Chains A and B, each alone.
Chain A
Amino acid sequence: MAVASLVLGIISIVIGLFVSAWGWAGAIIGIIGIILGVQGRKDPEKKGLATAGLVCSIIGTVLCVLFFLACAACLGTLAMA
């Protein structure tokens, strides 16, 4: 769980920073990373790795939501036009 959380967290950060238009996918990946990070922290041996995954996932989710939702609103309007 800890490794998976870290991988998902890094992917969501990359999406949030460089592919904002796919932020909805990045947010979903980041949220799954947070769940895995929180659960991974229950294993004392991998607590450090899980904490790193949790932090990366939170940062990635915030970036995806922050930069994406304007696109969501704009694209929604364009889709209706």
Chain B
Amino acid sequence: MGIDFNVLGRTIPYYGFFIVLGVGTGAALGLLQCKKHELSYGDFITLACFGALGGILGSKLLYLIVSFKDIEPERLSDPAYLQMLFGGGFVFYGGLIGGIAALFAGAHIFKIELWPYVTAGIPCLPLAHAFGRMGCFMAGCCYGAPYSGPLCVTYTASPFAPRNIGLFPVQAAEALCDLVITAVLLYCSNRPGRLRAHCLWLYVLLYASVRFILEFFRYDDNERGVWLMFSTSQWISLAMLLFSVIYYILKIHKIPKDLTGNS
């Protein structure tokens, strides 16, 4: 299994293909959710684009922070090295934090009521992420620990994963968990009452828990930051769990029960 495939003589990378597929599926789900919640799809796309912009910048920034020790300052004036540095490597958690911050900025700039769109659109995020993880699975990056049980995966041509040994399919496991989180969030966001208001914090809670556990099954620690006994993503998971619980206790009762913004 390599990292790309050919269509009409053009090389298509699995990761890019699955990301496009995920964003397309997420946008389609967003359209359905907007119709169900009677929201403007244009404003939904605007907020989603702000989230994507913040996501790209945030994930790049966290990648640079995590891999700070590998950066060679003397080569920063070399355009090829700069392109390599800024073109490669993204960390999902940086994207999540940057995306949420950009959502607030976008809503402020275009004067859009944020909460109804967050409630309707939050199931789209784990759905798109599930496709992204399948891209990782196909390309062999973000690989799991050596494992020889049922459903183990063996890469023979991946430039990222160890070749010709059985590995735990941690990327596929995370994709499956993301699909379950999507289903839970869809159920919650389409129920009347206060449960809808909890969707964002429910997502943070569920994803941080899943990610914290699945990090123990990953085997690419050398390519990512590890501090004390946990990886960078596990520390961020713990911080986000703590943040979501504190936010829930302090702020959640202030969110209007009527999320259409008419209250």
Whether A78 lies near B56 (C-beta < 8 A) is no
Whether B88 lies near A27 (C-beta < 8 A) is no
A21 in contact (CB, < 8 A): yes
B68 in contact (CB, < 8 A): no
> What is the bound-complex CA distance between A76 and B53, given in angstroms?
20
* Minimum distance in angstroms from B32 CB to a CB of chain A: 18
Q: Which of A21, A67, A72, A77 contacts B160 (CB 8 A)?
A: A77
Whether B89 lies near A72 (C-beta < 8 A) is yes
> What is the bound-complex CA distance between A42 and B41, given in angstroms?
12
Whether B53 lies near A75 (C-beta < 8 A) is no
> What is the bound-complex CA distance between A65 and B21, given in angstroms?
11
- For A3, what are the chain B residues with a Cβ–Cβ distance below 8 Å? none
* Minimum distance in angstroms from B89 CB to a CB of chain A: 4
Whether B16 lies near A65 (C-beta < 8 A) is yes
B46 in contact (CB, < 8 A): yes
Whether A74 lies near B16 (C-beta < 8 A) is no
* Minimum distance in angstroms from B75 CB to a CB of chain A: 10
**Given A69-B13, A73-B141, A79 and B4 contact (CB-CB distance below 8 Å):** no
A13-67 residues at the B interface, CB under 8 angstroms? 21-24, 27-28, 31-32, 34-35, 38-39, 41-42, 62, 65-67
18 A-B pairs (CB sep. < 8 Å):
A24-B60, A24-B86, A24-B87, A31-B56, A34-B45, A38-B42, A39-B42, A39-B46, A39-B110, A42-B42, A65-B16, A70-B4, A73-B15, A73-B88, A73-B160, A74-B3, A75-B84, A75-B89
The interface of chain B, by Cβ under 8 A from chain A, is 3-4, 11-17, 19-20, 23, 42-43, 45-46, 49-50, 52-53, 56, 60, 63, 67, 70, 83-90, 106, 110, 135, 139, 141, 159-160, 223
